[in-house]
Amino acid sequence: MIFLEHPVHHGAPHDREHLELPAPLLAPAAVDPDVASYFLACARSGCFTQAARSLNIKTTLLRKRLAELEEQVHGSLFNHQGKALVLSEAGQQLQAQLIAQDRRLPQIEQPLIRLAVAEPILHDILGRDLIALLRRNASVRLDIISLDGQQSLQGVEADLVLWLSDVDSPGPGPSFRIQPARPLARLHYLPHIAKRYSRSITRPENLEDLIDYMLVQWRPDQQIEALRPWNNLVQQRLSSVVHVHDYSLMLETIRCGGCIGLLPHYMSHFDRELIALPGLLPDSLQRGAWMAVNADVRYPKEVQMLVDLIVSTFEGRKDWFAG
């Protein structure tokens, strides 16, 4: 609050203007540094939840400490205007005083964790849980590397890696030294089609029936030995076939283009609009999902947090990989 005073000075050629600032609510030094950072984060974001995420603390703890700060200043620091959180007059005054005293805590550098994941696993299985992790912890530093083929696996360097290989062997695996590889799931592969393009009475039941359908091939799969029956079928096509490098585009081509493509059998759990076509190919089309930690990992605690998340995700989707 600013007061403008115009005192009268006898004999002075003109009046002088004086600027007086209000007395501080409390000395900035009396505010706990952590609480000061909590308050300033809330003031910047206008949201308790967002501030808690950015600080990597629970919202309940944040609000408890701010309530203690309000007791110190004997007043409310925030007001609600509809759904918006705004500073009260006392809050504006405290914010100005803390900033003037440069009480903002320096940002703590978070360890950078590099997570390399095979594109199907990232897109179909882990994506939602990784996003949920980021919602809970906005300060995390995570480098997510999408692996779209064996060549990418050989050329990448990461703290934690998830890849697809043979069911009984993780080889050849990453090019860097790893801790013992851990099997996560066995994936069975079947041709899939969108329900909208296939009525039950006209659904293809043998390879000859596929002549009236376009096939779509995800290029990283075309050199996979375990998928040879499908790859041979695609290679023999002289027409009605499309090759794509992007996994999401391959899925969209099946959903919306009337195409048939080879996908893990869990896909009907992930996307209810897609349906598997059993009996067209041998049941031996299988691959294994594997996970390993870098043998020279620098931040074992943070990496273990991701390992626990991944294991929990696969455990929670056991029914996806059954049978």
What band does 149 get if pLDDT is binned at 50, 70 and 90? low
Percent of the chain with pLDDT over 70: 87
Average pLDDT, the chain: 85
Q: Is residue 107 part of a domain?
A: no
Between 32 and 304, the more confident residue is: 304
- Contacts with 315 (C-beta within 8 Å, 6 or more apart), sequence order: none
pLDDT computed for residue 102 by the predictor: 64
Note the helical H segments in 145-282.
150-155, 228-235, 247-257, 267-270
- Does residue 73 lie within any of the structural domains? yes
The verdict on 94 and 22 lying in the same domain is yes
Question: Which of 126-142 are b and which e, b meaning 16 or more Cβ less than 10 Å from the residue's Cβ?
Answer: beeebeeeeeebeebeb
105 lies in a domain? no
Residues 6+ apart with CB under 8 A from 123: 247, 248, 251
Count of CA atoms in the C-beta half-sphere (13 A) of 104: 14
Same domain, 278 and 151: no
Q: Same domain, yes or no, for 11 and 80?
A: yes
Question: Residue 212 domain-assigned?
Answer: yes
Q: Within 13 Å and on the Cβ side, how many CA atoms surround 312? A: 10
User: In terms of domains, do 172 and 116 share one?
Assistant: yes
How far apart are alpha carbons 260 and 159 in whole angstroms?
36
Residue 62 — very low, low, confident or very high, per pLDDT cuts 50/70/90? very high
As a whole number, mean pLDDT of residues 113-135 equals: 93
Q: Does residue 298 belong to any structural domain of this protein?
A: yes
> Among 100, 132, 161, which residue terminates a domain?
100
Per-residue confidence (pLDDT) for residue 232, from 0 to 100: 95
* pLDDT at position 17 over 50: no
58 vs 294, higher pLDDT = 294
Give the phi and the psi of residue 71 in degrees, each rounded to 5: -65, -35
**Burial environment of residue 88 by CB neighbours within 10 A (0 to 12, 13 to 18, 19 or more):** middle
Task: Summarize the confidence of residues 21-41 as an average pLDDT.
Answer: 75
Give 37-59 pLDDT, tens digit per residue. 889 888 888 888 888 888 878 89
Asked if 182 and 310 sit in the same domain, the reply is yes
Dihedral sign, Cα of residue 110, residue 113, residue 119, residue 121: negative
User: Is 91 in the same domain as 19?
Assistant: yes
Residues 8 and 85 in one domain: yes
* Structure confidence at residue 83 (pLDDT): 77
Strand 160-165 relative to strand 286-293, pairing = antiparallel
pLDDT in tens, 66-114: 999 988 888 899 998 887 788 998 888 888 888 877 655 556 678 899 9
Same domain, 297 and 177: yes
Calculated CA dihedral for residues 42, 46, 52, 58, nearest 10 degrees? 100
For residue 141, the 8-state DSSP code is E
What is the 3-class SS of 281-321, one letter each residue? CCCCCEEEEEEEEECCCCCHHHHHHHHHHHHHHHHHCHHHH
Q: What is the pLDDT of residues 270-279, one digit of tens each?
A: 999 999 999 8
Tell me if 106 is assigned to some domain: no
Query: With 0-12 CB in 10 A as exposed, 13-18 as middle and 19+ as buried, what is 12?
Result: exposed
What confidence score (pLDDT) does residue 21 get?
A: 41
Same domain, 35 and 164: no
Quick one: average pLDDT of 18-44?
72
Q: Are the CB atoms for 163 and 239 separated by under 8 Å?
A: no
Q: What distance lies between CA 41 and its chain's CA centroid? A: 22
Same-domain status, 20 and 81 = yes
CATH number of the domain enclosing 220: 3.40.190.10
The pairing of beta strand 241-244 with beta strand 214-218: parallel
Of 100, 131, 166, which one is at a domain's C-terminal end?
100
pLDDT confidence of residue 45: 85
Shared domain check, 172 and 199: no
How far apart are alpha carbons 45 and 212 in whole angstroms?
56
Residues 207 and 265 in one domain: yes
Q: What letter represents residue 201's amino acid?
A: I
Q: Residue 77 sits in a domain of what CATH number?
A: 1.10.10.10
- The number of distinct structural domains making up the chain is 3
Q: Note down the domain range covering 293.
A: 112-186+287-321
14-18, 163-167, 214-218: least confidently modelled range: 14-18
DSSP state of 178: B
Global pTM?
A: 0.71
Read off the pLDDT band of 6 (50, 70, 90). Answer: very low
* Residue-wise pLDDT tens digits, 180-212: 999 999 999 999 999 988 776 677 888 888 888
pLDDT at 235 over 60: yes
Q: Residue 173's closest CA among 295, 165, 293?
A: 165
What pLDDT does residue 13 have? 41
